[in-house]
Amino acid sequence: YSPQFLMAPQHFWGNGTSSAHFVLLGFSQQGNVQVVLFVVFLVIYVITLLGSMGLLVLIQLVAQLHIPMYFFLSSLSFLDFCYSSCITPRLLWDLLDEEKVISHAACLTQFYFYVAFATAECYLLAAMAYDRYVAICSPLLYSLSMSRGLCVLLVASSCLAGVTNATLHTGLALGLSFCGPNVIDHFYCEGPLLFALSCTTPRFNLAATILAILLSYAFVLTAILGTRSAAGKRKAFSTCTSHLAVVVVSYGSFMAMYSQRSSRSSRVQDKVASVFYTMVTPMLNPFIYSLRNQEVKAGLWRLIGRKGSAEK
């Protein structure tokens, strides 16, 4: 890219928002491995789609999995599918496109859905932590406490929180003037870098969901330690480890992505963390729950056996 192109003045209309475009630098600095990155990211995306949709279909088809925990898990799988789909296809296109130009409208549209799905997933993970808290701390009241109506309400509330947060942030972006360089040193329209073009950097508020998860698991740990039976402790831990692994991977990569952005090396690290959060984590989630969950594996073998019997 020529300096003249990157520094070209923008044209403004209405409230001062640029009507031109942004340039997503992405991985243009690694020009000699663009094809390799395309293949790697394409494989990750295909595995994500197959894993997320496969787990969702499995939960719907196996009656033994029609309980609150797996209702939340199917919702998480759907969010992973949507979240990955609003980032990866554009990245794959840009890896094959020399200009890597994205229109103002397309950039804000991607930003809206990225914020909506990311926020909804954070609140859904908090709801799943509450589900594990009720299952372990109040097992006799679990079916009554975690009714289908409450589960639907928690998932709907998570989605509403995502839509609300995305609407507020995108509404703020619509009122900004993007002047000067129109370059985003990233592979998607990511919040802080997008808002930095107009010297405004709103931050996502993750404190509420992190606090809810920590409190839930504080009570869970207390209940487990109070269980006298060693077998009971092992069973309780086994029901939580998958969710804890997903929480650690999701929040760990997310917080790494939003820390220390000032230097060039930190921007490279930010892209790596973003790849992990936006592509690798959604790919891993279905496998984390499947490989560590006996009920999911049993349901899969039961479904395979049922189809084998039907073919005979």
Average pLDDT over residues 166-173: 83
Query: Which tens digits make up the pLDDT trace of 118-143?
Result: 889 888 888 888 888 888 778 888 88
Q: Do β-strands 183-184 and 21-24 pair in parallel, antiparallel, or remain unpaired?
A: parallel
Identify the CA nearest to 155 among candidates 176, 125, 115. Answer: 125
Half-sphere exposure of 180 (CA within 13 A, CB side): 8
Highest mean predicted confidence (pLDDT) among 82-96, 190-204, 286-300: 82-96
Tokens standing for residue 149: 């109506």
Residue 297 CA to residue 291 CA, distance in Å, equals 7
Q: Residue 269 is encoded by which pair of tokens?
A: 């690290």
In whole angstroms, give the CA distance from residue 5 to residue 21.
Answer: 11
Across 200-225, average pLDDT: 58
Per-residue CA distances from 110 to 91, 100, 105, 172, 198 (Å): 12, 15, 9, 15, 18
Per residue in 187-200, pLDDT tens? 888 777 776 776 54
Q: How far apart are CA 152 and CA 248, in angstroms?
A: 25
End-to-end CA distance of the chain: 62
pLDDT given for residue 154 in this prediction: 92
Strands 12-13 and 21-24: unpaired
- Higher pLDDT: 269 or 224? It is 269
* Domains defined for the chain, CATH in brackets: 18-311 (1.20.1070.10)
DSSP state of 8: P
Which range scores top for mean pLDDT: 86-95, 175-184, 291-300?
86-95
- Per-residue DSSP letter, 135: H
Amino acid identity of residue 60, one-letter, is Q
Give the chain's radius of gyration (CA, Å).
Answer: 22
Reported as a single tens digit per residue, the pLDDT across 7-36 is 343 433 334 444 468 888 877 766 677 888
Residue 222 contacts residue 50 (beta carbons within 8 Å)? no
Task: Identify the residue with better confidence: 193 or 102.
Answer: 102
In 3D space, the residue among 31, 18, 30, 28 whose CA is nearest the CA of residue 194 turns out to be: 18
Among residues 2, 1, 7, 296, the alpha carbon closest in space to that of 180 is found at 7
Query: Is residue 50 helix, strand or coil?
Result: helix
Whether the pLDDT of residue 41 is over 90: the answer is: yes
CA gap 130, 154 in Å, rounded: 10
Six token digits for residue 146: 């975690």
pTM for the model stands at 0.77
Across the range 103-109, mean pLDDT stands at: 89
